[in-house]
Amino acid sequence: MLTVTSGFERWAGDEQLAAGRKFLLPYAPFPKQQEFHASAAKYRLFGGAAGPGKSKALLMEAILQANECSGANTLLLRRTFPELEQSLLLYFRRDIPRELYTSFNDSKHVVTWRNGSTTRFGYCQNENDVYQYQGAEFLFIGIDELTLFTLRQWQFLTSRNRCPIPGAFPCMAGATNPGNIGHAWVKSLWIDRQAAPGMENPAEYDPADYEFIPARVSDNPIYAGDESYLKTLRALPSHLRRAFLDGDWDVFAGQYFDRFDFARHVLRAEEIDWKPWWPRWISIDWGFEHPAAAYWYAAMPAAVLDCNSEADRRPANPVSLEPSQVRPLTEVSQAGTAPKSGAPNDARRVVTYRELVTRHTAPRDLAQQIVARSAASDPRQGREKIDAIYLSPDAFARRTDEASIAEQMGDVFAAAGFPRPIPADDDRVGGWMLMYQMLDAGEWLLTENCMELIRTIPSLVRDSARVEDVQKMDGDDPADAARYGLKSRFASRRGAQGRPPLDERLAAHVLSPDPTIRAIQARKAQIDETRGAQPVSFLRRWRPGLPFRSR
């Protein structure tokens, strides 16, 4: 792989080496930049914070690669043209001597070097702009601010990363800060070192191909002692400071659910004393080409957690977590913002306790898997009693054979004694706001086996055009399914009449500790609710040929 010599000289290919000519690049890399250039990984990621010289290193890597392999092409990208002009093109015009290259086409933004290689500067403002490079091949592709790109754009560009020149080593690199629409997949590939949400063939992911070279402003001698700039970074809001100054990938600019805290909102399922009479329901985001996601919920009294002992309970670590970060379970209800007095869930919390995320699963097969997972692990309790299944509305319109997806799944559910699915409430803004408020108040918890949901929630970012909404991205299916489950259940929590949700109204009538009496009380409460909800029909009093009369 490439290295920079102590005199910052680079030999410009075997032919020029034989002729004794050197390629002198006026570039003195910092130690972290040198580490980036020396990496032998196929896919490199550099930075993670503001100010370490990420863009400059990416530009120089493309130039060095082009001049080391005669006749090769390299590509540098930003998301928009203004961003390209203000960074990579600006650095090229300012820092690269004119005598080092043959020509620069200002309209096509292509540099031709003396050994016949080229470096192209491009941008991909729209999702499909990457297809302008279809048929091209590049020895090196560098993407500045990689988290502004989508996973699909990255995956397509990897197919353009090839070179027919013998001995060449095609590779790619990105430079970025945490945040933006690509945060989740970038973090998965380089930080968590696992397949990213939305990858069709996750088994093909090889962590050996990826290397992350972290760097902060302190690694840049130019800014490390600049107190004015450091003071500016320290004065940023906490989430921006952690992202730009510390390079923290767990919180970042634009993050929607900045209140999500693993220590506060995630617990172990076995630490809950589950009761069979707790209201339970399921939500499903249907998908075939993109993943289908299903989640199970239980509404439980807050006292179940608050009365537990304060012994230290450590999670099984689905994400990296130091023991010092783990709080006693009783603190789940006490940390952060306390529930507001009089809120519907003062005496009750919702726990999402099981997940199923799968791809290319037929509707009936998906329903069968959901039924199988609902079998209680404790034979004394019997099968879980699911009182509602909320399914994404599009499943009621799509048809894969003679019946809609909802009908196919409903037949399987009905045969197993489950309720048929009903359309979920698809109010995106209202759903995200409800999820945020419940997290903030400690009303919504997750068990640690819901790993995809735990990984997805912190990665969601705001839509730049509709700031109350979440930006659509690959791999957001678990979050959509969770939104269905909470918004559909609590769509009328404190409606015009200030009524709490149905499960809380029913729970208010189920007071006896005796299981038999509780069952009777629950049944009576359900009957009373049904009677009170029946509308008076006037149309049934009218027959054709008679004038319509109403009382």
**271 neighbors 179 (Cβ within 8 angstroms):** no
Query: Which of 20, 69, 64 lies closest to 38 in space, CA to CA?
Result: 64
CATH code of domain 30-225 = 3.40.50.300
Kindly state the helix (H) or strand (E) to which residue 89 belongs, with its residue range: helix 88-95
CATH code of domain 262-508 = 3.30.420.280
Q: What is d(CA 485, CA 442) in angstroms, rounded to the nearest whole number?
A: 17
- Consecutive sets of 10 residues in the chain, 551 residues long: mean pLDDT of each? 39 41 75 92 89 89 93 95 93 92 95 96 90 94 93 93 93 89 87 84 92 88 79 76 76 78 85 88 93 94 58 37 33 35 53 94 95 70 83 82 87 94 93 92 92 87 86 88 94 48 62 69 69 46 49 40
Q: CA geometry: angle at 397 spanning 392 and 400, to 5°?
A: 100
Q: How far is CA 497 from the centre of its chain?
A: 37
Domain segments of the chain: what residues? 30-225, 262-508, 511-551
Q: What is d(CA 389, CA 489) in angstroms, rounded to the nearest whole number?
A: 10
Residues 6+ apart with CB under 8 A from 180: 145, 147, 148, 252, 253, 254, 461
Q: CA geometry: angle at 176 spanning 100 and 196, to 5°?
A: 125
Residues 6+ apart with CB under 8 A from 453: 293, 295, 352, 355, 446, 478, 479, 481, 482
Q: CA geometry: angle at 164 spanning 163 and 169, to 5°?
A: 45
- At 532 the pLDDT is 52
Q: Give the single-character DSSP code of 190.
A: I
Q: How many CB atoms lie within 10 A of CB 289?
A: 7
Three-state secondary structure string covering 416-458: CCCCCCEECCCCHHHHHHHHHHHHHCCCEEEECCCHHHHHHHH
Q: What is d(CA 116, CA 125) in angstroms, rounded to the nearest whole number?
A: 29
Burial class (CB in 10 A: 0-12, 13-18, 19+), 411: middle
Q: For 489, phi and psi rounded to 5 degrees?
A: -75, -35
Whether this model's pTM surpasses 0.85 = no
| Ranges of H-type helices in 225-341 | 227-234, 238-244, 262-265, 303-306
**277 neighbors 510 (Cβ within 8 angstroms):** yes
- At 216 the pLDDT is 84
Q: What is d(CA 147, CA 158) in angstroms, rounded to the nearest whole number?
A: 16
Q: What is d(CA 238, CA 252) in angstroms, rounded to the nearest whole number?
A: 9
Q: How far is CA 108 from the centre of its chain?
A: 35
- At 503 the pLDDT is 61
